[in-house]
Amino acid sequence: MKVLVTGWAWYIWSHTVVQLILSGYEVVIVDDLSAGKIEVIDRIEKITKKRPIFVQWDCGDSAVLSQIFKNHDIDGIIHFAAYKSVGESCNDPFAYYDNNIHGTIQLCKTALEYWVRNFIFSSSCTVYDMSRASSPFDETMPTWGTLNPYGTTKFVMEQIFRDLSNWKWLQGCMLRYFNPVGCHPSGFIGEDPSTPPTNLLPVIFQALTGQREKLLVFGNDYNTPDGTCLRDYIHVMDVADAHVLALQKLLDADIGPYTVINIWTWVPTSVQEMIHMVQDVTRKIVPYEVVERRNGDAMTVFGNTQLAKKILWRSAQYTVRDAVAHTWKFIQDKKL
């Protein structure tokens, strides 16, 4: 079986490609590497002993996609390619609409011309309407009412797959996750954003390693046990495995033509707990200061994982502490 993986900012896709190859899939990757590094392919080869086919181009370019579909007998597509910074999307919404939505339309149009019908979409719990739904989130809860253009594009992309599956054009499985953390246990691949990170764990590690003066903790006056926000952090290897398992189900026609699954752990961790965990694992101090709450932050976000267990027959294999330990290994080894 051959899979096309569309990527941007190689963090989650690189881990998924490793698990795909180790599960016996042939992989073709398309990513323009505007937010990544070519060395990641060497690292994937080092872990899997196989080199995936890599096309360095924008996956919204239908001419290049056509060429890929002509040259390769693709059985399914895992679509990661999307910009993903909330703040950036508020400053430049059209870049997000264009890249994420238009790119998805081009991909679907071209794939369907070549009768490639199986899609796994890397979605996000940002599609839930936080004003009408609350933790633990489950897949039946209301969506839309997104808080930013990034969330809007994820919602619209899900709707495109929903429409197309309703009209029997394709089969789509939407994997909704929120806070993937950690990296491959070998430490060979991990998260190394090309722009300054804004997510909690990378920021904590930057503060710990002196790449920034300190971590700013956005509020400790929430109605939670230690006053800081709670999130459902999931190890990126569990997220990667979920893509492989969902793809197998889709290719075996073991799930419906349009399926939505939360890929979470159901275990909330607070910002304060995360700081303690990092200090405990690394035996180093994280310099931090508590500041005002961040605009648009939800107090508590964690997910119900019953459906994932039922459909994919698995729950998370790794803990948040594993994610911290693996990230520390990645940072200490030579980074990409």
Of residues 173 through 202, those in contact with ligand UD1 by CB under 6 A are: 178-179, 198-200
The residue annotated as part of the active site, out of 128, 150, 222, 318, is 150
Neighbouring residues of 255: CB distance < 8 A, sequence distance ≥ 6: 173, 246, 249, 311
Among this protein's residues, is 11 annotated catalytic?
Answer: no
Burial of residue 98 (number of CB atoms within 10 Å: 0-12, 13-18, 19+): middle
d(CA 234, CA 318): 8
305 in contact with ligand UD1 (CB under 6 A): no
Q: How far is the CB of 297 from ligand UD1 (least distance, A)?
A: 5
Residues 6+ apart with CB under 8 A from 114: 66, 69, 70, 74
**Choice between 37 and 293, CB closer to ligand UD1:** 293
Q: Which stretch binds ligand UD1 (CB under 6 A): 23-31, 101-109, 166-174, 214-222?
A: 214-222
Instruction: Give, as ranges, the residues between 136 and 165 that touch ligand UD1 (CB under 6 A).
Output: none
127 touches ligand UD1 (CB under 6 A):
no
The single residue among 124, 135, 206, 269 that binds ligand UD1, judged by CB under 6 A, is 124
Interaction between residue 126 and ligand UD1 (CB under 6 A)? yes
As measured in angstroms, the least distance from the Cβ of 332 to ligand UD1 is 22
Q: How many residues does the chain have?
A: 336
User: Kind and range of the H or E element at 177?
Assistant: strand 171-177
| Residue with smaller CB distance to ligand UD1, 29 or 215 | 215
By C-alpha distance, which of 288, 265, 285, 282 is closest to 332?
A: 282
Q: Which of residues 224-243 bind ligand UD1 (CB under 6 A)?
A: 229, 231
What would the two tokens of residue 178 be? 């929120």
CA distance 309 to 76: 23
> Which is nearer to ligand UD1, 109 or 294 (by Cβ)?
294
Among 1, 22, 86, 90, binds ligand UD1 (CB under 6 A): 86
Q: Which residues contact 316 (CB under 8 A, 6 or more apart)?
A: 234, 235, 238, 265, 305
By beta-carbon proximity to ligand UD1, the closer residue of 86 and 105 is 86
Q: Is 203 in the site for ligand UD1 (CB under 6 A)?
A: yes
Q: Which residue among 23, 156, 218, 279 contacts ligand UD1 (CB under 6 A)?
A: 218
Q: What is the largest CA-CA distance in the chain?
A: 57
* Cα–Cα dist 162/160, whole Å: 5
Q: Which two tokens stand for residue 277?
A: 């965990």
Q: Report if residue 53 touches ligand UD1, rule: CB under 6 A.
A: no
**Distance of alpha carbon 71 from alpha carbon 271, whole angstroms:** 47
Instruction: Determine the size of the site formed for ligand UD1 (CB under 6 A).
Output: 20
Active site residues: 150
Residues that bind ligand UD1 (CB under 6 A): 86, 124, 126, 178-179, 198-200, 203, 215-218, 229, 231, 271, 294, 296-297, 301
